[in-house]
Structure 1
Amino acid sequence: MVGARPEPRRFGPRRLRPSETSPAPGASPLRTFAVALYDRKVVQAACLALQDVHGLDVNVVLFAAWTGAALGRALGASDARTADEAVAAWRERVVGPLRSVRRDMKSMASGLAGGDALRAKVKAVELEAELIELDALDRLGAEVGEAAAPSSELALANIRTIVTALARDPGGAEAHVAAIAAAIGSNTDIGSSA
């Protein structure tokens, strides 16, 4: 069908630990991909460094990986800005403040009755907000970039594009970018259809 969204390729077998971040039945393809990829410790560390040191949105980074590895879409700088702008208000008004509250509570919560339980609830709400952001980016997937063959190399190129276009300081980001791409490339099922 002309104009139909291409069927995305999944990021290998689902090896998710039971948690509040596991994709729900019927979860968006990006959510499923991102949760499976982020479940790897090396990817978590790399994404958090890209967020905390370079000012990048982890979900936009995972979106770039997904569009390259699963959809076969080559992103340009304008596509990076489009993706970032699509979720900027949500990130700034919802996800960011929840993250700040959760982080602030880390040192304060343990000394208060019920503090740790409340922090856990804030964390769960923050994670749900992140998943909502992924779903918003999922709807953008087929609208950005140029058609190409899906691959881990394209995922790497897309993440580099995100860093170049959006990072407050791209210096030193390459090792983190390469770690994410290596995690994608190490999955032998990357080319299998969903």
Structure 2
Amino acid sequence: MSHAFWNWSLEAYDRAAVHDSVLRLQDRYGLNVNVCLWCAWLASEGRLAEPLLGEAMEKLTPWCREITQSIRTIRRRLKDFPDSGRLYKSVLACELEAEKAEQDILFGIASQAPAAPATPETALRSLEAYARLAGASVDFAGFVKAVFLTGK
């Protein structure tokens, strides 16, 4: 079943600037695409993800590590096999379902997020807190700009 976060994410991710910047955060810094999108979505809704990040990571990490990342690794390896077209598409669909499960977890705790200004700065505050939790030093300016200032 879809929900507001999923629908918002699909729309945002469909914009090339958002897609490219969030995948760069995943590939370069090991950040979770869904957590980045969740921080931005909550901010766009006038809520702050920062106080919920510990709980979010506690709930997401086992699923992400054991399921989503494993499926992603297989999908990426399949690209090296020229006759893997149908299997690649099937694994890609499984990866999308795993990502949806992550979003369901995040959506489930989103109602606890406190009110905050619906601004890019609110998103940046949560994203920077997430990076600190992840032990990464990240410039989120491109991602925040892509989400809040382009293609709306």
TM-score (norm: length of structure 2): 0.89
Q: 2: distance between equivalents of 1:92 and 1:119?
A: 20
Higher helix residue share: 2
Q: How many equivalent residue pairs?
A: 152
Q: Give the unaligned 5+ runs of structure 1.
A: 1-25, 190-194
Match of 1:87 among 54, 60, 63: 60
Calculate the aligned-residue CA RMSD, in Å: 1.9
- Superimposed CA distance per residue, residues 16-43 of structure 1 (whole angstroms, 9 cap, x where no aligned partner): xxxxxxxxxx621110111111111111
Task: Give the match for residue 75 of structure 1.
Answer: 49
Displaced runs of 4+ in structure 1, greater than 3 A? none
**Does structure 1 conserve the Cα–Cα contact (< 8 Å) formed by 2:75 and 2:88?**
yes
Does 1:32 pair with 2:7?
yes
Does 1:152 pair with 2:107?
no
Q: 2: distance between equivalents of 1:69 and 1:60?
A: 14
**Does structure 1 conserve the Cα–Cα contact (< 8 Å) formed by 2:18 and 2:147?**
no
Q: 2: distance between equivalents of 1:154 and 1:188?
A: 19
TM-score (norm: length of structure 1): 0.71
Bigger radius of gyration: 1
Written as runs of structure 1 = structure 2, the 5 A alignment for 1:26-175 is 27-70=2-45, 72-76=46-50, 79-108=52-81, 110=82, 112=83, 115-144=84-113, 146-166=114-134, 168-170=135-137, 173-174=138-139
**Does structure 1 conserve the Cα–Cα contact (< 8 Å) formed by 2:48 and 2:116?**
yes
| CA drift at 1:187 | 5.6
**Does structure 2 conserve the Cα–Cα contact (< 8 Å) formed by 1:61 and 1:159?**
yes
In structure 2, the residue corresponding to 1:147 is in which secondary structure? coil
**Does structure 2 conserve the Cα–Cα contact (< 8 Å) formed by 1:75 and 1:161?**
no
Compare 179-188 and 34-43 and name the one that shifted more: 179-188
Give % identity.
Answer: 28
